Structure 1
Amino acid sequence: MDNIQIKRSLFDHTIGLLQRSLDLRTFRHRILSDNVANSENPDFTPKEVSFQKVLQETMQGRSAGFIRTTHSHHLSGDVPGTVEVASSAEGIQLDQEMAKLAENNLMFQAGVQALLKKFEGIKTVIQEGGR
């Protein structure tokens, strides 16, 4: 295996996709938390992040980009078309939103574990490579 093949296998697109997935999970958590926080507000319209759609576009290289804000005065990280207004005329169903939050949290944790495994593999290759 030559150096180019080693670099490609170590630093494939998996890390970037996992990072993007974690960013989107964080963004979705923010949207769902906003829905829960406004569950008593009759004028509030719940929103949803089209996670699957954005990740699919990312994998196909068509993503418009995902901007992460690090300060409250920065521009919004919302990507047009990723946040959709819920079609429910009933408003927010608190139990459903809480279930979505729990599922999103589990998926985030799974993504973190996958990323850790990827980095452990890279660490092993680096440590064992000189032997």
Structure 2
Amino acid sequence: MDLFGNTIGTLEKSLDYASAKNRAIANNISNADTPNYKAKEVVFKDVLQHSMENLEMKRTHDKHLSYAHNDSSFQTITKNNTTYNHNGNNVEIDKEMTELAKNQIYYNSLIDRINGKFGSLQKVIRGGN
């Protein structure tokens, strides 16, 4: 029995994405002065688009929806095509700090949403009190 539909699973995957993105950004910031370090980025849309193009399920009825499934909806890539610093490093610290702030807001909103779901469940279990 699934109490929330697919909401908790979706929120869990979103939290995984936000955590992976935070690790990549933190790695970039900590290596901002490392010679020849190439910045990493967590991408989502590219992987989704790629999986939708390459996977087609057999539909036995016209009203069946197509289905695309990928265990990992994001991946971490290395940006090798640019160099910004004299030492071969391509980390833009201002951009990384901005991305970190945006990702923290996104992560916190996910946590608030999942807390709301569990709060609703608690309320039902207690009988509406």
TM-score, normalising length: structure 2:
0.70
How has the CA–CA distance of structure 1 residues 61 and 116 changed in structure 2, closer, same or farther, with 3 Å as cutoff? farther
How much does 1:47 deviate? 0.7
How has the CA–CA distance of structure 1 residues 107 and 52 changed in structure 2, closer, same or farther, with 3 Å as cutoff? farther
Q: Give the aligned partner of residue 128 of structure 1.
A: 127
Q: Give the aligned partner of residue 28 of structure 1.
A: 21
- Give the match's secondary structure for 1:62: coil
Query: How many residue pairs were aligned?
Result: 106
**Structure that is richer in helix per residue:** 1
How much does 1:55 deviate? 7.6
Q: Give the aligned partner of residue 119 of structure 1.
A: 118
Q: Which moved more, 1:111-120 or 1:81-90?
A: 81-90
How much does 1:88 deviate? 3.1
How much does 1:108 deviate? 0.4
CA RMSD of aligned residues (A): 2.5
How much does 1:114 deviate? 0.3
- Give the match's secondary structure for 2:126: helix
Contact map agreement 1:35 1:97 (CA 8 A) in 2: yes
1:88 matches 2:82 = yes
* Of 59, 62, 65, the match for 2:69: 62
Gaps (5+ residues) in structure 2? 52-66, 85-89
| C-alpha separation in 2, matches of 1:105 and 1:55 | 23
Q: Give the aligned partner of residue 104 of structure 1.
A: 103
- Give the match's secondary structure for 1:24: helix
Contact map agreement 1:48 1:85 (CA 8 A) in 2: yes
TM-score, normalising length: structure 1:
0.69
- State percent identity of aligned pairs: 29
State the Cα deviation string for residues 12-38 of structure 1 (Å, max 9, x = none). Answer: 110111111112111111111000011
Q: Give the aligned partner of residue 30 of structure 2.
A: 37
Gaps (5+ residues) in structure 1? 1-6, 67-80
1:17 matches 2:10 = yes
State the Cα deviation string for residues 91-130 of structure 1 (Å, max 9, x = none). Answer: 110010011111111100000000001111111222227x
State the Cα deviation string for residues 26-82 of structure 1 (Å, max 9, x = none). Answer: 11111110000111113101010014556887xx6522348xxxxxxxxxxxxxx71
